[in-house]
């Protein structure tokens, strides 16, 4: 059994690389498909009006023609936004790389973290390295702002860094689905930390407000049950956050992706 900062047991040559996010930039990382874009061809979306935009306006129909054409348009006029704090989306890991999925949302004095995954070592690139931990120095410096942590599902590239990262972030509330929380507890148990962090089960039918953010969870299908996406209301508008997911009409747990809710979050004014 290894502890944060120690050599993993059973392999004297193996080591853990912490705060080495910059080391694992991958050009061959598979691209993730956004939920809104992937659903642009859903045949159930009907009655879309075709309109001609006035000259000088910029159409956005090329981005998502099925959902956008005739419904919304963008103009060249200066955009106005609500006054107040701006929203920052901070990818701690998981961008242009495989693994280390971790994102922070910040608005004013409020930060919410999504996932704490690790990256995969080994191979010719990182021989002898078991896994790589994201650089969380910014969150450590601003830990007093963190209002909560949400896990989207229980794969190790989303929860695997928890034993190393959670102690650095302080006593923060953790939210997720039942299976994900069970897998997280099992992961923490490997480091005798299972009793230090208590998770709260997310209710898919109720919004969750953490500081300046309100989360609307919805079910997604993946190769593991209890996966959720998030519609996130912010002072600057709504963000749709989709984790790993796939189209699956026959999931082994019988729980289908809630496309209706995700579409309504996209289309809602």
* Domains defined for the chain, CATH in brackets: 15-31+85-267 (3.60.15.10), 41-80 (no CATH)
Among 248, 257, 237, 254, which Cα is nearest to 105's?
A: 237
The residue to which tokens 């006029």 are assigned: 77
Give the whole-angstrom CA distance, residue 21 versus residue 28: 16
pLDDT of residue 58: 40
At residue 267, φ and ψ (nearest 5 deg) are: -85, -20
Please give the model's pTM, rounded to 2 decimal places.
0.69
pLDDT of residue 150: 98
The DSSP line for 51-85 is: -PPPTTEE--TTTSHHHHTTT--EESSPP---SSP
- Residue 262 C-beta-side C-alpha neighbours within 13 Å: 24
pLDDT of residue 200: 97
The DSSP H or E segment spanning 110 is: strand 110-114
Q: First-to-last CA distance in the chain?
A: 51
Sheet bearing 110-114, strands edge to edge: 87-93, 102-107, 110-114, 146-150, 174-176, 199-201
Give SS3 for 38: helix
The DSSP H or E segment spanning 186 is: helix 178-189
pLDDT of residue 93: 92
Give the whole-angstrom CA distance, residue 245 versus residue 268: 22
Where does residue 255 rank: exposed (0-12), middle (13-18), buried (19+ CB within 10 A)?
middle
Mean pLDDT split into 10-residue runs, the chain, 269 residues: 52 48 37 39 38 40 41 51 79 88 97 95 84 95 98 95 96 96 96 91 97 96 93 94 87 84 76
pLDDT of residue 80: 61
Give the whole-angstrom CA distance, residue 162 versus residue 181: 12
pLDDT of residue 70: 44
């Amino acid at each position: 059994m290894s502890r944060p900062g120690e050599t993993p047991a059973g392999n004297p040559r193996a080591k853990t690389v912490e705060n080495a996010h910059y080391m694992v930039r991958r050009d061959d990382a598979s691209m993730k498909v956004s939920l809104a874009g992937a659903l642009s061809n859903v045949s159930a979306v009907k009655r879309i009006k075709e309109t001609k935009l006035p000259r000088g306006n910029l159409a956005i129909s090329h981005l998502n023609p099925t959902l956008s054409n005739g419904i919304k348009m963008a103009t060249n006029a200066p955009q106005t936004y609500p006054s107040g704090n701006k929203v920052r989306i901070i990818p701690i890991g998981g961008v242009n790389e495989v693994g280390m999925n971790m994102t922070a949302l910040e608005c004013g004095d409020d930060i919410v973290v999504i996932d704490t995954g690790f990256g995969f070592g080994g191979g010719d690139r990182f021989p002898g390295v078991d896994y790589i931990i994201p650089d969380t120095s910014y969150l450590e410096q601003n830990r007093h702002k963190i209002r909560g942590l949400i896990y989207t599902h229980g794969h190790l590239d989303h929860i695997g860094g928890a034993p190393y990262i959670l102690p650095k972030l302080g006593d923060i509330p953790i939210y997720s689905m039942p299976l994900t929380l069970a897998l997280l507890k099992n992961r923490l148990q490997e480091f005798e930390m299972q009793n230090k962090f208590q998770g709260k089960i997310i209710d898919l039918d109720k919004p969750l407000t953490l500081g300046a953010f309100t989360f609307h969870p919805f079910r997604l299908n993946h190769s593991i049950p209890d996966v959720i996406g998030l519609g996130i209301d912010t002072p600057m508008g709504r963000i749709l956050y989709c984790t790993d997911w796939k189209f699956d009409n026959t999931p082994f747990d019988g729980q289908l992706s809630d496309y209706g809710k995700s579409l309504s979050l996209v289309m809602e004014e």
